[in-house]
């Protein structure tokens, strides 16, 4: 399969590398910033371009992996292409891609950081397509890099993306808060890592509601009061502690 990437950020980098490792031909990397396009293209043996008019019009799949607000502009500026055009956003409707003849969404539900390699072999790939041809191409592409793909329409995908923000982005921010408290008081964050891992393991086989622990779910007001006293120099964390504790109590008590 011949694949072109429009974008050179985290998502483009990891998807392109996964396709390359699967033996597919990533032919071009487009970016408005030449240095970014070249940096990614060099790792893939691809051609870096900054002009959409230079796109290979005979590729099988064109993946738009740019900021959400730029997707429709990039799609509208594309020349007539023989292959399928898809964006990789969780929060953007398929309707942002009405310009190409065959289009869709190829959304990997995973967290990406450029500096950390990732195995996408079991990452959920959420697919949506304008027609049967587009869906067939997206399904074929998905099978090359992952064992898990699902048809998910734009409305459901937005809700999935919202849920992922709570489950991934917010939880990582809470890790950072715990890290900052540990650092402030000379404690090693490594001590918390087994707890973090066990919490993640629990929800593999249980509903999160059933494995909630801590002072809030017990209604332990004395312990929560002591915690708030320890945060007197961090009113921002006090507010978050109160909000989350109240949410847990309302859910469980």
**For residue range 70-104, what is the model confidence (pLDDT) as tens digits?**
999 999 999 999 999 999 999 999 999 988 999 99
pLDDT at 108: 98
Confidence of residue 115 (pLDDT cuts 50, 70, 90): confident
Checking if the pLDDT of 114 tops 80, the result is: no
Q: For the segment 124-151, what is each residue's pLDDT rounded down to a tens digit?
A: 999 999 999 999 999 999 999 999 999 9
Domains of the chain by residue range: 2-152, 157-252
How far apart (Å, rounded) are the C-alpha atoms in residues 74 and 96? 10
Buried b (16+ CB within 10 A) or exposed e, 89-110: bbebbbebbeebebbbbbbbbb
CATH superfamily of 2-152: NAD(P)-binding Rossmann-like Domain (3.40.50.720)
- The CATH label, of 1.10.1040.20, 3.30.360.10, 1.25.40.10, 3.40.50.2000, for the domain at 157-252 is 1.10.1040.20
Checking if the pLDDT of 117 tops 90, the result is: no
pLDDT at 95: 96
How far apart (Å, rounded) are the C-alpha atoms in residues 8 and 112? 13
Q: What is the rounded average pLDDT of the residues 148-162?
A: 97
- pLDDT above 90 covers a percentage of the chain that reads 96
Angle between helices 34-44 and 10-21 (to 10 degrees): 20
Q: For the segment 6-47, what is each residue's pLDDT rounded down to a tens digit?
A: 999 999 999 999 999 999 999 999 999 999 999 999 999 999
Query: Counting Cβ atoms within 10 Å, is residue 118 exposed (0-12), middle (13-18) or buried (19+)?
Result: middle
CA distances, 113 to each of 49, 110, 148, 252 (Å): 23, 10, 21, 35
Quick one: CA dihedral 117, 121, 122, 123, positive or negative? positive
Please give the backbone phi and psi of residue 27, each rounded to the nearest 5 degrees, phi first. Answer: -90, -35
Angle between helices 235-252 and 171-184 (to 10 degrees): 130
Q: What is the rounded average pLDDT of the residues 103-107?
A: 98
Checking if the pLDDT of 154 tops 90, the result is: yes
The pTM is what? 0.92
Confidence of residue 224 (pLDDT cuts 50, 70, 90): very high
How far apart (Å, rounded) are the C-alpha atoms in residues 41 and 27? 9
How far apart (Å, rounded) are the C-alpha atoms in residues 181 and 176? 9
Q: State the pairing for strand pair 47-49/61-64.
A: unpaired
Does 157-252 match 2-152 at the fold level? no
Q: Provide the phi-psi class of 23: left if phi over 0, else alpha when psi is between -120 and 50, else beta.
A: left
- In the sheet that holds 149-151, the strands lie side by side as 47-49, 25-30, 2-6, 61-64, 84-87, 103-108, 125-129, 149-151
């Amino acid at each position: 399969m011949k694949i072109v990437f429009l974008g050179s950020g985290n998502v483009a980098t990891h998807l392109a590398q996964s396709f390359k490792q699967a033996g597919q031909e990533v032919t071009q990397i487009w970016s408005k910033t030449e240095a970014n396009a070249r940096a990614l293209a060099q790792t893939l043996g691809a051609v870096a371009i900054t002009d959409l008019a230079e796109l290979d019009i005979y590729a099988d799949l064109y993946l738009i992996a740019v900021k959400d607000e730029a997707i429709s502009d990039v799609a509208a500026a594309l020349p007539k292409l023989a292959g399928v055009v898809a964006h990789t956003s969780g929060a953007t409707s398929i309707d942002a891609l009405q310009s190409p003849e065959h289009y869709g969404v190829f959304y990997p539900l995973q967290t990406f950081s450029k500096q950390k390699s990732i195995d996408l072999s079991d990452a959920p790939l959420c697919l949506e397509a304008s027609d049967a041809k587009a869906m067939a191409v997206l399904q074929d592409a998905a099978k090359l890099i992952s064992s898990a793909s699902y048809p998910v329409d734009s409305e459901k995908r937005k809700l999935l993306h919202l849920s992922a923000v709570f489950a991934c982005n917010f939880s990582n921010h809470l890790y950072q808060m715990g890290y900052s408290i540990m650092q402030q008081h000379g404690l090693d964050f490594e001590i918390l890592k087994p707890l973090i891992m066990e919490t993640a393991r629990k929800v593999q086989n249980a509903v999160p509601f059933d494995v909630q622990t801590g002072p809030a779910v017990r209604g332990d007001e004395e312990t929560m009061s002591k915690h708030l006293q320890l945060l007197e120099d961090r009113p921002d964390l006090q507010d978050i502690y109160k909000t989350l504790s109240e949410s847990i109590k309302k859910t469980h008590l």
